[in-house]
Chains A and B, each alone.
Chain A
Amino acid sequence: MTKIITVPVAYKAGKLYSLFPSDGSGDFTTTRALDTATRFNSLGIRETVLANVPRIDHSHGACGELLVEPTRTNLFVSPDTLATQNVTTEANYYAVSFEGTGTITFTGTYVGSLVGTGVSNRVSLVFLATAGTLTCTVSGSVTSAQIELGKYATSYVVGTRNADVHSVNLPSGTLQVKEYTYGGGVRDVIPLVSPYTIKEGFIQKIIGTSTKDLVAGDFVANWDTREVSPGSSNYFQVKLPIISGGTYNFTADWGDGTSSTITTYNQAEVTHTYSVAGVYTVKLRGIINGWRFVSGGDRLKIGDIAQWGTLKVGNNGNYFHGCNNINASTVSDQIDVSGITNATRFFDSCLKFTCNLDYLDFSGFTDTSYMFQDCWLFNSDFSSANVSNVVNARNMFNNAYAYNSSMANWNVSNITNLTAFMNGKTTANYSTTLMDALYNGWSLLTLQPNVVCGFGTIEYTAAGAGGRAIMAGAPNNWTITSGTQI
């Protein structure tokens, strides 16, 4: 165990925040098998730190930051003093960094350049390469150079071997953040709500949500600027997915001490540029009516959602579509869905999304197609959901592996499309008991005729066979695919 009494984790104008275990131990477990990891000390000099010793890095200012990094490989040959060379790349993101006053010019699988700014200044560039050969032409002094597979540059690793794993394991139990004023003592103690995570990267912030920080009505989420994807803003930016035709009058607190007032979807402030790439808690306060990612934009940058607030997503569907990294497991309020009829692809492909949506009001929805498709971890109790106005529910829970709510009492009498409704699901994640009850419950309704309905390979028993036969028989004439009767 390594004892760290306080670790700076975030900044706000005039304030400093430090991570602190609530038991007062200050204990952290650190692992870093090799001893050649580097950090910038408080004098701005890069130095080696011994194995299993946490690194407090000063490369981004006078205040040190806990450095946590994954395993990386430096692909440059003889990187201490770099010469022109070729690097084989795959179609992926690469980060290049170096110190010195020279320039690296890239041709081949990526075209661009990175210009040095000084002997002790480390510059970096992240780009998307194609597969093939990247020619790196060096001019001037380029030292301690590194090219690595990934979306951000890590600290310098000497030679061409694998980097070691630079990880810090937090102690179990509750963490808290102490808020200081510069030159003063502890001003406040803010409990963090579990779960919290340390994200990889140069600037480390403890990603957690303080209930004390939440102001009712704010839409609060963490955004990782480094999660760049095709069509997204750049490595240092966050762009809000607000849309033409939406209604806006809100303040964006960007989490870096700055804020913007936004009233139109296309004003410049919709995209915010940070001086340092990393994770920021962004709070939106005011009128937001219109919000949709449509599997594009900064869909990978938005992560943990702490509060839905008064966010209204509009009525065009695809609201959080493609947001692979969102999770709302700690929210205590409900998302406002008033006025929504089109819920198509609401959370489609939100792979890690969990949230208690037990009280989600379905009553206004007419289209729930693809709504929770590929929400691999999502589950909620929808047993009492009012879906009586839903017409199209195709692919609604396609590949929603964790979902196992009863739907036996659903009023599906207006649904005309249930194609691939629960495809991808099996008896292992949706029981025969639930399936039998669904067949029997739905068979009692006056159903729309000729509906196509997919239940994956979920099996059923003799207890549900009668209901299933009624649904498939005249006058319903449904087409049902499922697992077998067992």
Chain B
Amino acid sequence: MAEITKTSIKRFYYIANSLGGIVTFGKLDKDSVLTTGQPVLKQYALETELEIAIDAINGAGWYANNKSDEQDTPIS
């Protein structure tokens, strides 16, 4: 299992399955925990970095269009 454990700063992340498809993404606040059985967990310090990474997988503009619906932990 992959985890982001009790970070001291907020972390942006996405999680993908074995085929590389985005399962979920979001922002993990400090002192929170994310645990996943999925094989891919990518972390970023900045939301812009997360957006670039996700759009590289799902296509340009996908992140902006799906930000409010697909995320697990809100990005605000």
Chain A interface residues toward B at CB < 8 A: 419-420, 423, 450, 452-454, 457, 468-469, 472-474, 476-485
B58: CB under 8 A from chain A? no
**B24-58 vs A: 1/0 string, CB under 8 Å?**
10101101111111100000000000000000000
Given contacts A473-B1, A484-B5, whether A468 and B73 have CB atoms under 8 Å apart is no
Alpha-carbon distance between A483 and B34 when the two chains are bound, in angstroms? 9
Interface residues of B, CB < 8 Å — how many? 23
In the complex, what residues of A have CB within 8 A of residue B73's CB?
A: 420, 423, 454, 481
Main secondary structure of the interface of A (DSSP, over half): mixed
Known: A450-B23, A452-B24. A481 touches B37 (CB 8 A): no
- A452 & B72 in contact (Cβ 8 Å cutoff): yes
A249 to B59 alpha-carbon distance, docked (Å): 51
Q: Chain A's nearest CB lies how many Å from the CB of B20?
A: 14
Q: Which of A419, A452, A469, A482 contacts B1 (CB 8 A)?
A: A469
Q: Other than the known A423-B73, A450-B17, A483-B31, what 16 A-B pairs have Cβ atoms closer than 8 Å?
A: A419-B71, A419-B72, A420-B72, A450-B38, A469-B35, A472-B35, A472-B37, A476-B37, A479-B15, A480-B34, A481-B26, A481-B28, A482-B33, A484-B6, A484-B31, A484-B33
Residue of B nearest to A482 (CB): B33
Closest-by-CB residue of A relative to B26 is A481
Given the interface contacts A452-B24, A472-B1, A476-B37, does A482 sit within 8 Å of B32 by beta carbon?
A: yes
Interface residues in B1-22 (C-beta closer than 8 Å to A): 1, 5-6, 15, 17
Docked Cα-Cα span, A452 to B74, in Å, equals: 14
Residues of B within 8 A of A478 (CB): 36-37
The listed residue (A419, A477, A482, A484) touching B36 by CB distance below 8 A is: A477
The interface residues of chain A lying within 8 Å CB-to-CB of B29 are 457
| CB-defined contacts of B31 to chain A, threshold 8 Å | 457, 483-484
Q: Are B37 and A479 in contact (CB under 8 A)?
A: yes
5 A-B residue pairs with Cβ-Cβ distance under 8 Å, sorted by A, are: A420-B73, A454-B73, A469-B35, A478-B36, A484-B6
Contact B23 A420 (CB under 8 A): no
Across the interface, name the chain A residue whose C-beta is closest to B31.
Answer: A484
B5 to A, closest residue via Cβ: A484
Q: Say yes or no: A481-B72 contact (C-beta < 8 A), given A452-B24, A457-B29, A476-B37.
A: yes
Which residues on B sit within 8 Å (CB–CB) of A453? 72
A468→B35 contact, CB < 8 A: yes
If A420-B72, A423-B73, A454-B72 touch, whether A479 touches B34 (CB-CB below 8 Å) is: yes
The reply to whether B32 and A473 form a contact with Cβ atoms under 8 Å apart is no
* Chain B: minimal CB distance from A373 (Å): 12
Contacting residue for A481 out of B23, B34, B38, B70, CB 8 A: B34
| Bound complex: CA A481 to CA B34 (Å) | 4
- CB <8 Å contact, B33 and A483: yes
Residues from chain B with a CB closer than 8 A to the CB of A479 are 15, 23-24, 34-38, 72
Which has the most chain A C-beta neighbours within 10 Å: B17, B24, B29, B34? B24
Partner of A419 from B24, B28, B33, B38 at Cβ < 8 Å: B24
Nearest Cβ on chain A to B32's Cβ, whole angstroms: 5
Contacts of A482 in B (CB 8 A): 32-33
Residues of B within 8 A of A473 (CB): 1, 37
| Cα(A457)–Cα(B34), bound, Å | 10
Contact, CB under 8 Å: A420 / B28: no
State A198–B33 Cα separation when bound (angstroms).
Answer: 47
B15 close to A481 (CB less than 8 A): no
Q: Which residue of A lies closest to B73 (CB)?
A: A481
Residues of A within 8 A of B15 (CB): 452, 479
Query: Separation in Å of the B11 CB from the closest CB of chain A?
Result: 11
